[in-house]
C-alpha cells in the first residue's frame, strides 16, 4: 500500500463532547409562537481539533468534558435564557429563578460569553457555547494549534445550528 499521500497530507485529529440540558427561552423579537416562554431538551456537540497530537491527545478528554458539562449545568440547565431587554428577565430574577441573560450591558461574569448576542436563538446559543468551549480549551493542556472546530446545538429533534470555531 502506498502511504506517501497520506503521510504528506496535514494531520487532523479531533474529539467531540456531547451533553444535553433542559432550558427555557423565548424570542419576543421574532413574533409568532416563540414569543411564549417555552422549553427544549437541548443537545450540544463540541468538537476540538489539532493538526498534531500532544501526549497522544488533542485535549485531555475527561477534563474537557467535565469543564464543559459543569459550565452548562451551572448556568443553563433547568433555567431560562432571555434577552436582556425581555421584561420577564426582571420578574424571573426577582423570584429567584435561574436566569442567563443574553446581551446584558453589565453582565455577570458567566454572562460575558453572551456579549453582543441580544437574544437566545439557537444560533446565539451555539456561539455562546463556542465561546465557553474556547475558554475551557485555553484553560486546559492541549495539543499545539488546538482549536474549537465547531459547535452544534440542537433545540428540537429537527432544528439545530452550527457555529464554526477558532484557535485556542
CA 108 to chain centre: 17
Range name among 2-6, 12-16, 121-125 with the lowest pLDDT average = 2-6
Residue in the block written with cell 480549551: 137
pLDDT at 5 over 60: no
**CB atoms inside a 10 Å sphere around CB 162:** 14
| The pLDDT of residue 6 | 45
| The pLDDT of residue 95 | 97
Residue 132 C-alpha cell reads as: 465557553
| The pLDDT of residue 7 | 47
pLDDT band for 31, please (50, 70, 90 cuts). confident
List, for residues 32-54, the tens digit of each pLDDT value.
899 999 999 999 999 999 998 87
| The pLDDT of residue 23 | 97
Q: Mind giving me the DSSP string for 44-85?
A: EEEEEEESS-BTTBSB-HHHHHHHHHHHHHHHTTTEEEEETT
List, for residues 71-124, the tens digit of each pLDDT value.
999 999 999 999 989 999 999 999 999 999 999 989 999 999 999 999 999 999
Nearest to 118 by CA among 109, 107, 110: 107
Kind plus residue range of the DSSP H or E element containing 94? helix 87-94
List, for residues 108-167, the tens digit of each pLDDT value.
999 999 999 999 999 999 999 999 999 999 999 888 899 999 999 999 999 999 999 755
pTM: 0.90
Amino acid at each position: 500500500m502506498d502511504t506517501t499521500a497520506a503521510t504528506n497530507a496535514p494531520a487532523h485529529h479531533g474529539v467531540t463532547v456531547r451533553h444535553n440540558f433542559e432550558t427555557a427561552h423565548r424570542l419576543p423579537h421574532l413574533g409568532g409562537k416563540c414569543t411564549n416562554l417555552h422549553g427544549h431538551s437541548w443537545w450540544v456537540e463540541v468538537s476540538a481539533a489539532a493538526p498534531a497530537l500532544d501526549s497522544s491527545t488533542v485535549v485531555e478528554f475527561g477534563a474537557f468534558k467535565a469543564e464543559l458539562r459543569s459550565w452548562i449545568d451551572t448556568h443553563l440547565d433547568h433555567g431560562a435564557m432571555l434577552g436582556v431587554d425581555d421584561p420577564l428577565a426582571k420578574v424571573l430574577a426577582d423570584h429567584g429563578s435561574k436566569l442567563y441573560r443574553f446581551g446584558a450591558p453589565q453582565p455577570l461574569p458567566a454572562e460575558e460569553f453572551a456579549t453582543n448576542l441580544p437574544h437566545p436563538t439557537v444560533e446565539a446559543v451555539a456561539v455562546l457555547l463556542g465561546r465557553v468551549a474556547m475558554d475551557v480549551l485555553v484553560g486546559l493542556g492541549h495539543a499545539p494549534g488546538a482549536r474549537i472546530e465547531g459547535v452544534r446545538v440542537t433545540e428540537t429533534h429537527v432544528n439545530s445550528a452550527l457555529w464554526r470555531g477558532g484557535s485556542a
